Amino acid sequence: EAQVTQNPRYLITVTGKKLTVTCSQNMNHEYMSWYRQDPGLGLRQIYYSMNVEVTDKGDVPEGYKVSRKEKRNFPLILESPSPNQTSLYFCASSFRTGTNEKLFFGSGTQLSVL
Amino acid sequence: DQQVKQNSPSLSVQEGRISILNCDYTNSMFDYFLWYKKYPAEGPTFLISISSIKDKNEDGRFTVFLNKSAKHLSLHIVPSQPGDSAVYFCAASARWAGGTSYGKLTFGQGTILTVHP
């Protein structure tokens, strides 16, 4: 089954404790991205990757890191989480071609930073 | 700066009637528009899209209309069903900006649609 898998689904942590949210896709997509969803703000892009070893900042990259060492995986790293990073996070992927920007999303990771 | 805006946080409709969800954008470089649907505890899923060379695209009960001069698009659901109750996100892309497809979508805030039986 074609899917984007995120782990964990729920995470509660404390300020400053490094964490990683994993994302994996099995559709051989070149493009992967992370979004956060906040009330009244919709989905905002954090980082994206056009292909292996190619990553770039989205609209709200502060406090986050990513890596793309393999095509299928795109982990999101919070080196020193803060309470304002409490949010619902989505990983997404798609083919890179310009004819269809249809993104496939994971089920989300609800992060609470205390 | 919110480049894609959905000004109605929520919409309530009776089953069988039409649901109309609206979306406005400010960036004139946007040339491809999509609607996503999101159920609780799930990720958004693609619903329907439209290119800027068209003004209407239809898929079953769902129709998207694009008014480029007004920088406005709308999603019509006819007839509405209780299973349509979800959050609907409008998204836009500037695919050919600079001759490169960035694959980046800019999303609106979302509209919660409730369809009552």
Regions of chain A where pLDDT drops below 50 = none
- Average pLDDT, whole number, for chain B? 92
Smallest Cα distance from B32 to chain A, Å: 8
- Average pLDDT, whole number, for chain A? 92
DSSP A52: T
Inter-chain contact B43–A42, Cβ cutoff 8 Å?
Answer: no
User: Which pLDDT score is estimated for A66?
Assistant: 97
Which of A48, A90, A98 minimises the CB distance to B101? A98
Question: How far apart are alpha carbons A97 and A95 in whole angstroms?
Answer: 6
Condensed to tens digits (0 to 9), the pLDDT of residues A92-103 reads: 998 765 555 678
Inter-chain contact A90–B6, Cβ cutoff 8 Å?
Answer: no
Q: What's the CA dihedral at B32, B55, B59, B47 to 10 degrees?
A: 30
Question: How far apart are alpha carbons A113 and A85 in whole angstroms?
Answer: 7
